[in-house]
Amino acid sequence: MGLQITLTVNGESVTRVVEPQTLLVSFIRETLRLTGTHVGCDTGQCGACTVHIDGRATKSCSLLAVQAQGAAIMTIEGLAAADGTLHPMQAAFKTCHGLQCGFCTPGMVMSAVDLVTHHGCRPGQMSEQQVREALEGNICRCTGYHNIVKAVQLGAAGMAA
């Protein structure tokens, strides 16, 4: 028995009928075909599915689609400017080589943007250790986090500029 939900995704209003058990991440990937949001585990641990819900980074595997009724969701596809200019955090990940296989990257970037936005992280304000602790919910197997930490610090500077 489907339920109708209406929400905003990357600035556009969408209305769809979903099954009550459909996870938000499945709705994003399968129904909306926004495949930049990834599934890396089945226990809410890896953070590859992180999106913004009403501006806060949230693991979209841990909500039902129906719980997002009325919410404003931003996925990695919605982060760059309309003209394609990368968000400062995306640009910083490229500059710092903060990604290798790219699979954890969308979730990592969405977490990093939230981290900066909600922790008022400006240059010099957030230590390396604070960045590391704040990214504890996003697992990367490729980079050893070394360049991700640098990217988040550079991205923070870019967002403040």
Partner 1 sequence: MNARQGFIGQSVERREDSRFLTGKGQYTDDITLPQQTYAYFLRSPYAHARISRLDTAAAAKAPGVLGIFTGEHFKAVGGLPCGWLINNLDGTPMKEPKHPVLADGKVRCVGDRVALVVAETLEQARVAAEMIEVDYDELPPVVDTATALNFSQPGLAVHDEAPSNECYRWGIGDEAGTDAAIASAAHVTTLHFRNNRLIPNAMETRGANAFYDPHADNYTLYVSNQNPHVERLLMCAFVLGIPEHKMRVVAPDVGGGFGSKIYLYGEETALVFASKTIKRPIKWTCDRSEAFLSDAHGRDHVTTAKLALDAQGKFLALRADTTANLGAYLSTFSTCIPTILHATLLAGQYKTPKIYCEISAVFTNTAPVDAYRGAGRPEATYLLERIVETAAHEMGLDPAEIRRRNFITEFPYTTPVGLTYDTGDYEATMGRAIELADVAGFAARRAASEAQGLKRGLGYSAYIEACGIAPSSVAGALGARAGLFEAGEVRVHPTGKVTVFTGSHSHGQGHETTFAQVVADKLGIPLDDIVIEHGDTSKVLFGMGTYGSRSLAVGGTAIVKAVDKIIAKGKKIAAHLLEAADSDIVFEGGEFKVAGTDKKVPFAAVSLTAYVPHNFPHDKLEPGLNENAFYDPSNFTYPAGTYICEVEIDPATGHTRIDRMTAVDDFGNIVNPMIVEGQVHGGLAQGIGQALLEHGIYDTETGQLLTGSYMDYAMPRADDLPSFTVETAGPESCTPCTHNPLGVKGCGEAGAIGSPPAVINAICHALGVKDVPMPATPYTVWKAANSLRNSAAIR
Judged by CB, which is closer to partner 1: 7, or 36?
36
Does residue 50 touch partner 1 according to CB under 8 A? no
| Contact by Cβ (8 Å): 52, 73 | yes
Does residue 17 touch partner 1 according to CB under 8 A? no
Q: How many CB atoms lie within 10 A of CB 78?
A: 19
State which of residues 86, 117, 119, 157 lies at the interface with partner 1 (CB under 8 A).
Answer: 86
8 — phi, psi (to 5°)?
-105, 130
Does residue 157 touch partner 1 according to CB under 8 A? no
Which residues have CB under 8 Å from 151's CB, separation 6+? 89, 92, 93, 95, 96, 98, 112
Residues 101 to 140 in contact with partner 1, rule: CB under 8 A: 101-106, 109, 128-129, 131-133, 135-136, 138-140
DSSP 123: T
Enclosing H/E stretch for 17: strand 12-18
State which of residues 63, 148, 154, 156 lies at the interface with partner 1 (CB under 8 A).
Answer: 148
Tokens (6 digits) for 120: 């008022």
Judged by CB, which is closer to partner 1: 122, or 141?
141
| Interface contacts to partner 1, rule CB under 8 A | 29-30, 33-43, 45-46, 48, 75-77, 79-80, 86, 90, 93-95, 97, 99-106, 109, 128-129, 131-133, 135-136, 138-149
